[in-house]
Each structure stands twice: as structure tokens, then as C-alpha cells.
Structure 1
């Protein structure tokens, strides 16, 4: 990988984080080093255990143990900005081959930082670093900036029938 590209996985369908985790697994199995930064998230997800199992895989959360449903708190904003700063340093240092910015689009949607701030951080990456951005509501500026954009569309989902998140599948 001489030239890293920017991917966006967006849309209202399930599978954005899952796709980023799948790409991360593929990269680790190919001998690459992966950093997975989760914005907004602070809850216990099964993938948090992956860094104890997979070599060259590191994951950190930049959120509280609840999701933002209304107006973000000062703590939500601080955690997101700290996360963007951390990810910016990691991207520029170039130690990792793949950097995932999970739910970055949602952080922008909730005005925790701007699309321009996120783009500046991504632009400042080491040239070989592949960047994966996930989350609903990707801003047009970020879509234009990206090299690859995939939109996940929900056609049918068992959540509509009352099925809650299941450990190892959605959580």
C-alpha cells in the first residue's frame, strides 16, 4: 500500500461498523497495523476484546456509556475533540497502515466538531495510511473528499419486529 485512500461507509442500513471491522481483520491478517477509533461510543461492544486477540490491532472509544439523543453535553464535545486530536496524531505519525474513524459522521452531525476539522486531520495523514470513516449522515464535503463511498440502505431489519441487539451480532 503505497498510497492510502479514504473510504466512507454511510447510510441508514446496518453494517457500517461491521464492514470497517471486516476490513480491519483483513488488514491485520495481511500483516498490517490497524487503529480503530470509535467516536460517540463508550458502551461495551464485543469488538473491544479484539485488541486482546488480534496482533497489531488497537481500539479506543471517545464517548460516554450512553448515546446522544438530544443536545450533546460539554463532556460529549470534549471527548470527541480529544478523540479527533488523538486520531490526528496517529494519522500523521504513520505508525498504523489503516485507521478507522468509526461514527465520525455522527460526531459531525451532532456538531461535536466540523467536517472541515475532520478533513484537515485526514489530509494531514502519512501518505500510506488508509482511512475508513463510518456513520450515518455523511456530509457532502466529506463525500466529495473521499475516494470511495458506500451507502448502506436498510431494506428490511428484524429490529422492526422488536429484536434487540444481540451479543456478537449487533453488539
Structure 2
């Protein structure tokens, strides 16, 4: 990619990141182009679909969350590793209002630009869960798909103004329910 094209692409991603954080994933692509002071055609040349834009924006974060899970897999405390990753994943997911809907849909849509990243993220959570299950510290009646769904549900709470103040408390309730030997967590 030419240097000027790379600069334009990076500028579009920076502007899109701000717009998405402010307005959520339904922000108008036309609005993003206007904010970036480029034409819509320029935006679409770099990112032909909303999902392609989101994939480019989120790929680094997806990769970081997947790498974080891999690092936590070597931790001495499987239950704490699972909860730590879950908390980080929920916090990251709430940065872009509405992204959980796209992530959930992308899991089953192999044509989605987000599919591979979402599948890798779900697999990372599943490995942490399996490790905690093998250690006898996590419920055995949940799987990686359930963990992925819980991330989406907990992130959704953060998107709801009336419920956001309860999000941390409800995270703790859900996390304790995933674990064995904690209140509500015995399977």
C-alpha cells in the first residue's frame, strides 16, 4: 500500500473509532467520511462494508484479547484467569455500543468479515473455561459458546443507561455462578 493510501486508511480508522465510541455501530458511514473530510467513495474504497470497517478497527483488540487469554492459560489460578479475561473482554466489548450484536451474528456467518476474529475470541475463552473446568473450579455444564454469550450479555448491560450502574455487581454475580465452590456457582 502506498504511503498516502496508508495514511488515509489510518486516518479513517481513527475517525471511525471515535465515531463508533460516541454513536455505536450504527453510525452512518457517510458521517464517518464527513468527519474524516473525505468522500464516501474514499471510505468505501478502503472499507467496502460496515463489517470490513469494524473488522479493521477491532482486529487489533480481538488479537490482544486472544493473546491475553493465551498468557492467562499459563497462570497458576485457572478460575482467576477465566474471570480476569472475562472482565477484560466485557470492558473491551463495551467500548463500541452495539458491537455484541454483530459479534454474535458473525459467529455463524462464515462470510462475515468479523467471523474469524469472533471464532478465535470464542475459542480463547473456551480454552480458559476448559482449564478451569479441568482444575475443578468452573461449572462443567457451560461451554465456550456460553462464555461468549455471557460476554455479550454483560456488555449489553453496560450499554443500558438504567442498568449500567449495576453492571459491575452483576458481573460479579455471573462470574461467581460460573465457578464452583462460590455462592450460586455449584454445578
TM-score > 0.5 by shorter chain: no
TM-score under structure 2 length normalisation: 0.30
Larger radius of gyration: 2
Structure 1 or 2: more strand by fraction? 1
- Larger RCO of the pair (alpha carbons < 8 Å, separation 6+): 1
Q: Which has the higher helix share?
A: 2
